[in-house]
């Protein structure tokens, strides 16, 4: 024991104090008090580590002092050893009830007194150690919580999810697990439309739902903003139920906005594959369905990876490709059966990639429509089409008009009309030479805006095709209000037209209807002689398709026109 521990001896009999002092003077700094009151004065003035307390004293006896000590927070922890006479059994019990740590019986046996004091002090030290250890543990738990958890939702953060999920799947290698990656569509809108707190509430609600979902058999974590991940044994994964439960939880918040979660699921097949890769794959799967209203979750398969890599290549290289003129036009004639010649041609873009060769528009147009780059590409195509027209005009022969595809995004640009009219002026062309193809589904987007712009074009003498007619949901109804000049019937209608009564009858009626409402009509995707014959028989003259010509490089197209005009 270090000598700087302080022992307070409280006894009204000086002799007793002297004896005890003798016992402990080598181990303790001794202070003395003759009654409870004096003892209180001492302990309020200096630190005391241990009190030896006589019970029977004048002014304030030992019981009174014990009561005061235990009531006063500052003093409550000081161990008190009570000194009693041999026949004071009752008093000992009472003293212990009042919080005394132990008692010593008079007359004092030095060995026993020392031992008791040592025991009490050791016990106290032990208690302190325990308290300190508990505090340390609490601190560590709090720290760990802070480091491991996402501060907004309280569930694991990304790093922790990765490590814990890796341990979970590796320690249970015989259990098949699934990694599920979830994301809210257009979460930004929720933050913009409402308060950021509303967005946070949605995230916390979703997190709480995930937490109950994985309780006891899996893990969940917040990856970033509105992205979450779950790791669950396969047998616990019922995606319909999971998504339904999530919808219910979020709908219970009564936010007036359609909040839709999407999920990608990656079935773990190699437990040693890094979890972040598994999450990436689940995320990749999710990205293939984002924006679709009917599909809310999808399982990962290898082809998706190819698709995403392809898309990344497209996004990385598009600007450079446009600058470097890797995009070029192919022309596909629209043919008049009765006149045996091209009466128009559609400009179709191709990407001639220096390493990958020719890339069809089906691969890159949807990507550009998602990121807006299509507006720039379309402009490049329109200008190129004008150059082709200019070249035709320069030969002095009759110009065959060209139709260009117009992505719906152009309708949101106020200078759309000016751009087209500007190009016509720049290349000294007439409005009838350039036609616009607007895909049927664009008409459902924002009909008012679209109609207004369409009318302006028509007033300027530019004709409009409704492309892919019949492929959407409301084609017929739309015809009542949309003043298109020519219907371009989707290529699915021409299939089987020559050998199926039903297909034939439908085609016949479409052609009849176009005549009735005084609209031009072109049938796309005509590939065989029987189809041509059928169409001719029902009075349909204009066709486009491989039967007559595939899309041709511009040079070949010019050659074809030259041949035809020479023939004429
Ligand atoms: P679309 O406008 O419906 O173009 C017709 C597509 O059908 C073309 O495919 C054409 O090559 C193909 N085709 C023509 N005749 C036949 C046939 O007899 N049989 C079959 N099976 N197919 C035929 P392509 O060139 O691959 O274009 C695909 C789509 O890409 C186009 O569909 C159009 O929506 C879009 N696209 C092409 N160029 C442009 C462009 O410059 N701008 C925009 N916005 N979209 C474009
Ligand atoms: Ca088209
Ligand atoms: Ca089409």
**pLDDT for res 395:** 93
**pLDDT for res 366:** 85
**pLDDT for res 517:** 93
Under DSSP, is residue 364 helix (H, G, I), strand (E, B) or coil? Answer: helix
Task: Show the tokens assigned to 479.
Answer: 């015809």
Nearest-CA residue for ligand 1 atom 24 is 361
Are the C-beta atoms of residues 495 and 516 closer than 8 Å to each other? Answer: no
CATH top-level class of 6-132: alpha beta
**369 Cα: distance to centroid of ligand 1 (angstroms):** 15
Domain boundaries, the chain: 6-132, 156-300, 309-565
**pLDDT for res 435:** 98
**pLDDT for res 568:** 47
Task: Show the tokens assigned to 423.
Answer: 């190009």
Atom of ligand 1 nearest to the CA of 468: 3
Q: Mind listing the pLDDT tens digit of every residue in the chain (568 residues)?
A: 556 789 999 999 888 899 889 888 888 999 999 999 999 999 999 889 899 999 888 889 999 998 998 888 888 888 899 888 766 677 777 888 888 888 888 878 888 888 888 888 888 888 778 888 888 888 888 777 778 888 899 999 998 999 999 999 999 999 999 999 999 877 877 777 777 888 899 999 999 999 999 999 999 999 988 999 999 999 999 999 999 999 999 988 887 777 889 999 999 999 999 999 899 899 989 988 876 778 899 999 988 888 878 888 999 999 999 999 999 999 999 999 999 999 999 999 999 999 999 999 999 998 898 788 999 999 999 999 999 999 999 999 999 999 999 998 898 888 999 999 999 999 999 999 999 999 887 776 667 788 899 999 999 999 999 999 988 666 677 888 888 999 999 999 999 998 899 999 999 999 999 999 999 999 999 999 999 999 999 999 999 999 999 999 999 999 999 998 875 4
Considering the domain 309-565, what is its CATH architecture? Alpha-Beta Barrel (3.20)
Chain centroid to Cα 93, Å, comes to: 67
For residue 67, report the phi and psi dihedrals to the nearest 5 degrees: -60, -45
Number of residues in the chain: 568
**Which residues does ligand 1 sit against, CB inside 6 Å?**
332, 348-349, 360-362, 365, 374, 378, 381, 405, 407, 437, 467-468, 491, 525-527, 544-546, 551
**348 Cα: distance to centroid of ligand 1 (angstroms):** 6
Read off the pTM: 0.62
Which residues pair with residue 436 across a beta bridge?
404, 464
Nearest-CA residue for ligand 1 atom 12 is 525
Atom of ligand 1 nearest to the CA of 526: 18
Atom of ligand 1 nearest to the CA of 349: 38
Nearest-CA residue for ligand 1 atom 42 is 405
Instruction: Determine the Cα–Cα distance for residues 364 and 496; give it in Å rounded to an integer.
Output: 30
Instruction: Determine the Cα–Cα distance for residues 372 and 187; give it in Å rounded to an integer.
Output: 20
Instruction: Determine the Cα–Cα distance for residues 468 and 447; give it in Å rounded to an integer.
Output: 17
What would the DSSP string read from start to end of 108-144?
A: P-HHHHHHHHHHHHHHHHHHHHHHHHHHHHHHHHHHH
330: nearest Cα among 364, 360, 301, 300: 360
**81 Cα: distance to centroid of ligand 3 (angstroms):** 99
Mutate to test the pocket of ligand 1, among 335, 361, 380, 441 (most ligand atoms within 8 A of CB): 361
Are the C-beta atoms of residues 160 and 148 closer than 8 Å to each other? Answer: yes
Instruction: Determine the Cα–Cα distance for residues 317 and 367; give it in Å rounded to an integer.
Output: 12
**pLDDT for res 83:** 85
Q: In CATH, what number does 156-300 get?
A: 3.30.70.270
Which residues pair with residue 80 across a beta bridge?
51
**507 Cα: distance to centroid of ligand 1 (angstroms):** 21
Classify 39 in phi/psi space as left (phi over 0), alpha (psi -120 to 50) or beta: alpha
**339 Cα: distance to centroid of ligand 3 (angstroms):** 23
Q: How many helices (H) and strands (E) does the chain have?
A: 21, 20
Atom of ligand 1 nearest to the CA of 404: 41
């Amino acid at each position: 024991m270090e000598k700087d521990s302080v022992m307070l001896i409280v006894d009204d009999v000086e002799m007793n104090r002297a004896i005890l002092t003798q016992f402990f003077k080598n181990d303790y700094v001794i202070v003395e008090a003759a009654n409870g009151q004096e003892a209180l004065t001492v302990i309020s003035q200096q630190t005391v580590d241990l009190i030896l307390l006589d019970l029977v004293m004048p002014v304030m006896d030992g019981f009174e002092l014990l009561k005061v000590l235990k009531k006063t927070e500052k003093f409550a922890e000081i161990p008190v050893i009570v000194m009693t006479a041999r026949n004071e059994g009752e008093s000992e019990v009472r003293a212990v009830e009042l919080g005394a740590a132990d008692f010593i019986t008079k007359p004092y046996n030095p060995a026993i007194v020392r031992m008791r004091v040592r025991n009490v002090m050791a016990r106290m030290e032990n208690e302190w150690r325990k308290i300190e250890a508990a505090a340390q543990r609490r601190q560590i738990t709090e720290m760990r919580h802070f480091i491991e958890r996402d501060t907004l939702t309280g569930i694991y953060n990304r790093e922790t999810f990765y490590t814990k999920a890796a341990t979970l799947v590796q320690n249970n290698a015989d259990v098949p697990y699934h990694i599920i990656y979830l994301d809210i569509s257009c979460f930004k809108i929720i933050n913009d439309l409402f308060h950021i707190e509303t967005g946070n509430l949605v995230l916390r609600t979703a997190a709480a739902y995930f937490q109950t979902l994985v309780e006891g058999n899996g893990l969940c974590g917040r990856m970033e903003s509105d992205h979450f991940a779950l790791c669950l044994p396969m047998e616990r994964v019922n995606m319909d139920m999971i998504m339904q439960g999530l919808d219910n939880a979020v709908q219970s918040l009564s936010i007036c906005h359609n909040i839709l979660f999407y999920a990608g699921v990656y079935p773990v097949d190699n437990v040693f594959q890094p979890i972040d890769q598994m999450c990436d794959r689940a995320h990749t799967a999710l990205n293939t369905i984002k924006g679709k209203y009917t599909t809310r979750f999808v399982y990962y398969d290898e082809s998706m990876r190819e698709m995403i890599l392809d898309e990344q290549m497209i996004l990385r290289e598009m600007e450079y490709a446009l600058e470097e003129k890797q995009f070029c036009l192919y022309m596909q004639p629209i043919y008049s059966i009765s006149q045996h010649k091209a009466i128009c041609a559609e400009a179709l873009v191709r990407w001639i990639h220096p390493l990958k060769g020719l890339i069809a528009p089906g691969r890159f147009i949807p990507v550009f429509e998602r990121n807006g780059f299509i507006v720039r590409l379309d402009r490049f195509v329109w200008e190129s089409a004008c150059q082709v027209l200019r070249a035709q005009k320069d030969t002095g022969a009759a110009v065959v008009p060209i139709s260009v595809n117009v992505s719906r995004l152009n309708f949101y640009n106020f200078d759309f009309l000016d751009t087209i009219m500007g190009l016509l002026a720049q290349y000294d062309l007439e409005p009838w030479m350039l036609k616009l193809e607007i895909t049927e589904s664009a008409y459902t987007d924002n009909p008012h805006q679209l109609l207004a712009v369409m009318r302006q074009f028509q007033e300027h003498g530019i004709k409009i095709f409704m492309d892919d007619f019949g492929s959407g949901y409301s084609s017929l109804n739309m015809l009542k209000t949309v003043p298109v000049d020519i219907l371009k019937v989707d290529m699915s209608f021409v299939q089987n037209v020559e050998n199926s009564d039903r297909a034939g009858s439908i085609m016949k009626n479409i052609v009849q209807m176009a005549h009735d409402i005084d609209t031009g009509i072109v049938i796309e995707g005509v590939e065989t002689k029987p189809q041509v014959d059928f169409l001719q028989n029902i009075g349909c003259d204009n066709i486009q398709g491989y039967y007559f010509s595939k899309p041709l490089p511009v040079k070949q197209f010019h050659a074809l026109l030259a041949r035809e005009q020479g023939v004429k």
